[in-house]
Structure 1
Amino acid sequence: MRKNLLLLLFVPLLVLSACFKDKSPDPKQTVLNEDGNIKIYLAAHPEISATKDTSGVYYQILNPGTGTHAGPNATVTIDYSGQLFSGVSIAGQTDYSNKLNTLLTGWQIGIPMIATGGQILLIVPSRLAYGVYGTSQVPPNSIVIFNITLKKIVQ
């Protein structure tokens, strides 16, 4: 009797669950929402005079640096710090070194804009940062602000 009762309760739930459509966000709408949120943030922070790249990354070159710029296969050494729009800091690092083409897409876009010794502020939409998965410190779908100093380039 209990098995029949459980079956009677379970089957309608199964049928009803099939009726609901996938509620995952529309990627185009996410891009528009994030861009709007970045514009609101910039309006509230007039000390930042960021420019929008065609990729959707906003950047402000604080110091252009001197010398050559990093190519996609270069190994770069950087100091960086990051924060969420809420002001919560995420882990930064000094003397972090890695191939440019393995870094966050937003970094791959921004770092080549400066030369050795240069400093850049990047406001990176979630799709070009940590995406839908986030990290232990960055919630999913978070826009992240990075301050990056390029210390060394090995082409």
Structure 2
Amino acid sequence: MDSLSYSVGLMLAQNLQQQGISDLDSESLKQGLMDVIDGNDLKISLEKANSVIQEYFAKKNMAQFEENVNAENDFLTANRKKEGVVETESGLQYKVLEAGDGPVPTATDRITAHYHGTLLDGRVFDSSVNRGQPATFPVNGVIQGWQEVLQLMPVGSKYRVFIPSRLAYGERGAGDMIGPYAMLIFEIELLGIE
């Protein structure tokens, strides 16, 4: 076995997996690689290949979109009926866990907060609480859902916040865990305003 060739194959496969491409025909993949490496005539043009790949991701994103949007709609519909849940005009929902009595930040303030962010299925994607280090940032430097709720929270408050995808990362998602059209749930404790 040629270790360089095998290593290149490993790296290509890992890259494909990271991009979410998993349902490939290995013979066609091998043929495409060999046609380029051997300088053979291509079965389809590079432009067509790009188009096929873009169409693949569009279909995959649409399937993810439908699944996430349906889950979000079902959750928010049921959640708005729960005791203590408040829904704003934008569709953001929150529940006051602890009411603070400090000042309320404005869009141009910098705040310090502890937060714990999860997806609808409960997986944690980010948590200053788990890191043991509160975060400081400008109110107008975060996702729309955060901007909105922070300007409702007096310092000392702790809210559970239910952020629809359109007020979070929308169609693009963020990082490895937050997919397209993913709704986010946060517990936010507003510690102070700088």
AA partner of residue 189 (structure 2): T
**Which residue of 67, 70, 81 corresponds with 2:116?**
81
**Which residue of 87, 94, 107 corresponds with 1:59?**
94
AA partner of residue 137 (structure 1): M
Check whether the contact 1:35–1:56 (CA below 8 A) recurs between aligned residues: no
AA partner of residue 44 (structure 2): F
Between the two proteins, the alignment pairs up a number of residues equal to: 143
- Output aligned runs, 1:114-133, within 5 Å: 114-131=153-170, 132-133=172-173
User: What is the DSSP-based 3-state SS (H/G/I as helix, E as strand, rest coil) of the residue aligned with 1:150?
Assistant: strand
- Output aligned runs, 1:1-155, within 5 Å: 9-10=43-44, 14=48, 33=70, 36-39=73-76, 42=79, 46=82, 49-93=84-128, 94-131=133-170, 132-154=172-194
User: What is the DSSP-based 3-state SS (H/G/I as helix, E as strand, rest coil) of the residue aligned with 2:182?
Assistant: coil
**Over aligned residues, Cα RMSD in angstroms?**
3.4
Give me the TM-score of the superposition, normalised by structure 1.
Answer: 0.73
Q: Percent identity?
A: 24
CA distance in 2, matches of 1:41, 1:89: 22
Please, which runs of 5 or more residues in structure 1 have no aligned partner?
none
Give me the TM-score of the superposition, normalised by structure 2.
Answer: 0.60
Check whether the contact 1:72–1:100 (CA below 8 A) recurs between aligned residues: yes
Check whether the contact 2:68–2:182 (CA below 8 A) recurs between aligned residues: no
Please, which runs of 5 or more residues in structure 2 have no aligned partner?
1-34
Distance change (3 Å), C-alpha of 1:83 and 1:31: closer
Q: CA deviation at 1:33?
A: 4.0
Q: Determine which structure has the larger helix proportion and give its number.
A: 2
Higher relative contact order (CA 8 A, sep 6+): 1
